[in-house]
């Protein structure tokens, strides 16, 4: 059995390797010593992003101790044990000179959306709650209360809680989806539109909010961002607000460190853009890690930097995060904790400080990390191709209860009917294989093999030696 201290040590070793990159060649933010002495000091930090692991809370490769922190969930006192991987939190506190550890003074979480599902669109990978369109990507984490743990596990009428990022259209891109109990309160976060101070109504996208029975906290205005909580609707379908909370800025002080993950919602240039309501500025010293893509509206980015006197985050590093991920799901072949890697279905997987870990097995370990993974475990790994030597750079390692089928998703290469290759794995098809095209419609084998080359395909089947015998192959992108 692994102790919590041992697991924290393992994570710190992993985080240390990532920090060597972040704080050196990768243009990270190492905190200087007092008057250049080199003595380690802690700097104030405001960090916003998804939780990647626990022990205490790990966000963006930094492990924040929470023993002295005030934790608030839905603006009420809470506990770290109530939080989940993939939920987007705001942490205020300090980060140490090593750049991988810190101490939180305040941790807050509020769901972006909670209510009943009214529509599920499998073709466009969206669902709708309270008139808000929610996009599901390869990076979305579903709680194991959703079965199957993907969009197909949601049904109209199911009550869900969503934590995510707003995109430029005001839709929500889900980071995590959980089920909520029937009768749970209704909640929506968004931008105020069509404010009517006489009728005491406004809209958040297609949802009308009636706030005639409450006094909003803060100054309510068009374009302000609010959280609305309620439990009922008017006869015309407006949400009756029990509380309207107007959200302010980051609250960070000038010279505080900032760490932010989200979607670009407004873009002037690479030197001036907005992420989740936070203005970001760059200069000649900013390190851009764009991985061959172009920075622009709706790009998912992680930004590190320092807040200036006007509240803008002056970036030392801007990294673009992919939302179309490769995937392997099956039995672990081998694990190297020292090498920070594992092998699944023959695919080499490298983990780092920003890798999320979650245990959804029947006996879950909350402080789950690479040290807990064993050969023969059934896991799902999501990530991006490793340009340094093949395999995957993991964004998520999730342990699940074992099942008979294996899965692989990625760009299809070496297409030769009836076989193709994904991530170096040969996928064989036969007369029993069900083929699905981009529009979610069935395809013949001939149609599939003409459309699949260089597309992202997800294959499901049984492993025979090193070959996956597919019972389903679906073109995703």
Whether the upstream peptide bond of residue 136 has omega within 30° of 0, thus cis, is no
Number of neighbouring beta carbons within 10 Å of residue 18: 22
Cβ atoms 193, 169 nearer than 8 A: no
pLDDT (0 to 100) of residue 5: 40
pLDDT (0 to 100) of residue 440: 81
What pairs with residue 16 in β-bridges?
Answer: none
Secondary structure letter of residue 14 according to DSSP: H
Cβ atoms 337, 325 nearer than 8 A: no
Question: Would strands 356-359 and 126-129 be described as parallel, antiparallel, or unpaired?
Answer: unpaired
Secondary structure letter of residue 49 according to DSSP: E
First to last CA, the chain: 42
Using the CB atoms, write b or e for 461-473: b if 16+ within 10 Å: bebeeeebbbebb
pLDDT (0 to 100) of residue 323: 80
Whether the upstream peptide bond of residue 148 has omega within 30° of 0, thus cis, is yes
What is the helix (H) or strand (E) element at residue 5, kind and residue range?
A: helix 4-22
Helix, strand, or coil (residue 449): helix
Residues 6+ apart with CB under 8 A from 78: 71, 72, 109
pLDDT tens for the chain, 477 residues long, are 344 444 444 444 444 443 333 333 333 443 333 233 333 457 899 999 999 999 889 998 899 999 989 999 999 999 999 999 999 999 999 999 888 899 999 999 999 999 999 999 998 999 999 999 999 999 999 998 998 889 999 999 999 999 999 999 999 999 999 999 888 899 999 999 999 999 999 999 999 999 999 999 999 999 999 999 999 999 999 999 999 999 987 788 888 999 999 999 999 999 999 998 999 999 999 999 998 889 999 999 999 999 999 999 999 999 999 888 899 999 999 999 888 999 999 999 999 888 999 999 999 998 899 999 999 999 999 999 888 778 999 999 999 999 999 999 999 989 999 999 999 999 999 999 999 998 788 999 999 999 999 999 999 999 999 999 999 999 987
Outline where DSSP puts E strands in 308-359: 313-321, 326-336, 341-344, 347-350, 356-359
Cβ atoms 476, 449 nearer than 8 A: no
Number of neighbouring beta carbons within 10 Å of residue 439: 9
Question: Would strands 257-269 and 43-54 be described as parallel, antiparallel, or unpaired?
Answer: parallel
In this predicted model, what pLDDT tens digit does every residue of 346-362 receive, in sequence order? 999 999 888 999 999 99
pLDDT (0 to 100) of residue 41: 56
């Amino acid at each position: 059995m692994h102790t919590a201290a041992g697991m924290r040590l393992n994570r710190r070793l992993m985080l240390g390797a990532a920090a060597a990159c972040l704080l050196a060649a990768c243009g990270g933010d190492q905190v200087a010593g007092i008057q250049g002495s080199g003595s380690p000091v802690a700097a104030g930090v405001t960090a916003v992003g998804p939780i990647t692991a626990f022990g205490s809370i790990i966000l963006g490769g930094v492990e924040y101790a929470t023993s002295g922190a005030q934790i608030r969930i839905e603006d009420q006192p809470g506990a770290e044990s109530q939080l989940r991987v993939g939920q987007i939190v705001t942490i205020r506190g300090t980060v140490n000179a090593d750049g991988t550890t810190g101490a939180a003074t305040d941790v807050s979480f509020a769901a972006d959306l909670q209510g009943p599902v009214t529509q599920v669109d499998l073709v466009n990978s969206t669902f709708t709650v309270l008139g808000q369109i929610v996009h599901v990507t390869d990076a979305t984490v579903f709680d194991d209360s959703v079965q199957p743990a993907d969009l197909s596990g949601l049904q109209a009428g199911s009550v869900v809680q969503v934590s995510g990022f707003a995109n430029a259209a005001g839709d929500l891109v889900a980071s995590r989806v959980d089920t909520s109990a029937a009768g749970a309160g209704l909640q929506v976060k968004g931008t105020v539109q069509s404010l009517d101070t006489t009728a005491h109504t406004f809209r958040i996208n297609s949802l009308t909010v009636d706030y005639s029975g409450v006094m909003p906290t803060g100054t309510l205005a068009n374009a302000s961002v609010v959280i609305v909580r309620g439990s009922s609707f008017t006869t015309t379908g407006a949400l009756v607000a029990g509380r309207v909370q107007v959200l302010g800025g980051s609250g960070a002080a000038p010279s505080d460190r900032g760490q932010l993950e989200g979607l670009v919602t407004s873009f002037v240039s690479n030197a001036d853009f907005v992420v989740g309501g936070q203005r970001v500025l760059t200069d000649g010293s900013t390190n851009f890690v764009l991985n061959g893509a172009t920075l622009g509206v709706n790009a998912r980015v992680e930004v590190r930097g320092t807040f200036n006197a006007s509240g803008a985050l002056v970036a030392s590093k801007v990294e673009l995060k992919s939302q179309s991920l490769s995937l392997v799901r099956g039995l672990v072949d081998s694990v190297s904790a020292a090498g920070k890697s594992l092998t699944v279905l023959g695919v080499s997987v490298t983990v780092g400080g920003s890798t999320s870990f979650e245990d959804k097995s029947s006996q879950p370990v909350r402080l789950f990390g690479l040290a807990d993974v064993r050969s023969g475990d059934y896991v799902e790994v999501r990530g991006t191709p490793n340009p340094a030597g093949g395999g995957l750079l993991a964004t998520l390692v999730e342990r699940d209860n074992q099942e008979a089928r294996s899965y692989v998703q990625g760009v299809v290469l070496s297409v030769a009917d009836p076989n193709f290759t994904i991530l170096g794995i040969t996928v064989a098809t036969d007369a029993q294989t069900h083929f699905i095209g981009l529009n979610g419609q069935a395809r013949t084998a001939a149609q599939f093999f003409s459309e699949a080359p260089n597309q992202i395909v997800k294959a499901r089947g049984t492993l025979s030696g090193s070959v996956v015998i597919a019972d389903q192959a679906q073109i995703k992108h």
